[in-house]
Structure formats: C-alpha cells, structure tokens
Amino acid sequence: PVWGMIQIDNLEELTKGLSDREYTSIWTDINNIIMDEIDRYEGFIRNFQDDMYTFAISRGALHEMEEDGFKVLERIRKVPSPRQVPATISIGISENV
C-alpha cells in the first residue's frame, strides 16, 4: 500500500471570525471532498485532527490519481467561503515503506 497524509493548509484563515454554523459548513464541504476522493480509489482514510488526515491506497490508485492530475486539489479550491479565500490542501505520500 501507499501511505499518505492530507492537511487542510488554511482552515484557520478560511474560518476566522465565522459563526460555528459557517465553520461547520466549510469544514464539512472540504471533508466530504477529501473522503470521497479516497473512497473513489477504494482507500482507507481517517481524520485525526480538524485539518489532518491519514490514508492508505494501492499503488495503482496512486498512479491513477497522478494521471488524473490530482483533481481533488481543484475541487477543494472551489469550496465557497464567506471570506472569499480559496481552500487549499497539501498531500504527502510515501510509496516505498
């Protein structure tokens, strides 16, 4: 398997000064995109902090993600924010563990 970490880079900036309802809405949108992406590749994912995830996928799934150009990054940037700040994530992958 391939192991990875995903971090929401700017969750604090995205949600600073927002109500709990607005925070939850933005976080849920981002979380659903991340979870759906890993599920799409039949991977295993766990959220262990508001802005951090760990996941495992097959090597084949990683190569598919690469061929697709990691489209999840663009989907995350399109999450609407009352502060007009695009959401961003970082993905770290360890292929030969």
- Sequence ranges of the domains in the chain: 2-94
Q: What is the pLDDT of residues 26-64, one digit of tens each?
A: 999 999 999 999 999 999 999 999 999 999 999 999 999
Please tell me the distance from the alpha carbon of residue 57 to that of residue 78, in angstroms, as a whole number: 25
pLDDT confidence bin for 97, thresholds 50/70/90: low
Superfamily holding 2-94 = Reverse transcriptase/Diguanylate cyclase domain (3.30.70.270)
Distances (CA, A) of 59 to 19, 37, 92, 94: 41, 15, 14, 10
Q: What is the pTM of this model?
A: 0.92
Judged against a pLDDT cut of 80, whether residue 4 lies above it is answered with: yes
